Amino acid sequence: MSLILKETKESDISYVLEAETDPANSSFVDHWSYVRHRNSLRESDIRHLLIFSEQEKRPVGYTILAGFSGIHKCAELKRLVITEKGKGYGQEALQLIKVLVFEDLDFHRLWLDVRDHNVLAKTIYEKNRFVVEGHLRECVQVDGRFESIYIMGLLKNEYSNT
């Protein structure tokens, strides 16, 4: 693997904001302010991580995971944003996230929501054994319109590091 996950630092937030608002990503993720990202770096429930290319010595995305202060051993993949599309970074980053959640942390479940118009992401999650657990119709308001999301989950016994 050529990617690693690194703790996001406050000095990285400008990169995160740029990635989040990039037209290739902005319609698929909720937008947080600088302050919200900065505060999340200190929250015990959240892991805010850069997806870093060791070969290129720079970030190629970021991820936000939640659920670390709970007793249920259930992590939420709140955000997975890749800034360089078409290079396999999303697939590789997802593998790293699953290793972190299921192997390093020994969690029982990893779940996420994905906008129903984000067909590419949904397909990648399905290829990685995530199961659609529900479809919430018009539950997110974005720019004055309502969008629907899929809830997807993966249990540890369904996980495979292949």
pTM over 0.95: no
pLDDT in tens, the chain (162 residues): 589 999 999 999 999 999 999 988 888 888 899 999 999 999 999 999 999 998 889 999 999 999 998 899 999 999 999 998 889 999 999 999 999 999 999 999 999 999 999 999 999 999 999 999 999 999 999 889 999 999 999 999 999 765
* Domain count within the chain: 1
Query: Smallest Cα–Cα separation from 152: which of 117, 119, 126?
Result: 126
CATH of the domain at 88: 3.40.630.30
Coil, strand or helix at 161: coil
CB 114 within 8 A of CB 131: no
Domain extent, residue 135, equals: 3-158
